[in-house]
Amino acid sequence: MFIRSERLFLRPGWPEDWAELLALIDDEQVVRNLVQAPWPYRPEDARAFAGRAQADRHPHFFITLPGAHGSKLIGTVALAQFDGETELGFWIARSQWNRGYATEAARAVLALARTLGHRRIAGCHFIDNPACARVFAKLGFEPTGETRPRHSPARTGAEPALIYALDVAAAGNCTLAGGDDDETVMRAA
């Protein structure tokens, strides 16, 4: 499966992507905000992730930025089964932060989520990650009021994470709107 958004191209990972992936995610400031990535991130971890098969209802994508000399990997975005819920997860390489790429990539995947039969998508972020909170807000997610302990291998232990939800099954909740300034038409659960 492939998705084209305004500035990005989302595609499956290929085994030969492992070195580029490793160069971007081997950053403690990135991994400390992820609950499923190992730390330290090793070449074998990158090889395993780049070669991982797609799941029918829970796809994962490499986020690439097309340019004159090919497409450059800048992060990943996925729908994943976590604690019995479908969750949206994403990360962007630190050199690409604050450009709206996470919001744009996630918006494209959420548009696909409804087609895949999802009704509700959850999301979470550690309480010390306000950038992720802003992405969820731009996407139309609403805080559930719930805080759960989550563990990241790059942190010293379980830490509180805020939980969000989005009802993608509601009428009109499917858009491929572009940048961060566009009005969000998705409604929260």
**Domains observed in the chain:** 3-167 (3.40.630.30)
Q: Per-residue pLDDT averaged across 164-179, rounded?
A: 66
Proportion of the chain above pLDDT 70, given as a percent: 90
What pLDDT, on a 0 to 100 scale, did the predictor assign at position 156?
86
Angle between helices 130-139 and 101-115 (to 10 degrees): 50
CA distance 124 to 42: 25
**Average pLDDT across the chain, whole number:** 90
Q: Are 1 and 54 in contact (CB under 8 A)?
A: yes
Residue 19, number of CB atoms within 10 A of its CB: 12
Q: Is residue 173 very low, low, confident or very high in pLDDT (cuts 50, 70, 90)?
A: low
Q: What 3-state class would DSSP assign to 107?
A: helix
What pLDDT, on a 0 to 100 scale, did the predictor assign at position 83?
84
CA distance 51 to 48: 5
User: What's the pTM?
Assistant: 0.88
- Top pLDDT among 123 and 169 is at 123
- Top pLDDT among 9 and 171 is at 9
Single out the residue of 33, 46, 181, 175 nearest to residue 106, CA to CA: 175
Q: Are 23 and 46 in contact (CB under 8 A)?
A: no
Q: Is residue 93 very low, low, confident or very high in pLDDT (cuts 50, 70, 90)?
A: very high
With 0-12 / 13-18 / 19 or more C-beta atoms within 10 angstroms meaning exposed / middle / buried, residue 33 is buried
What pLDDT, on a 0 to 100 scale, did the predictor assign at position 172?
55
Q: Per-residue pLDDT averaged across 28-40, rounded?
A: 94
Q: Judge whether residue 127 has pLDDT over 80.
A: yes
Q: Are 169 and 118 in contact (CB under 8 A)?
A: yes
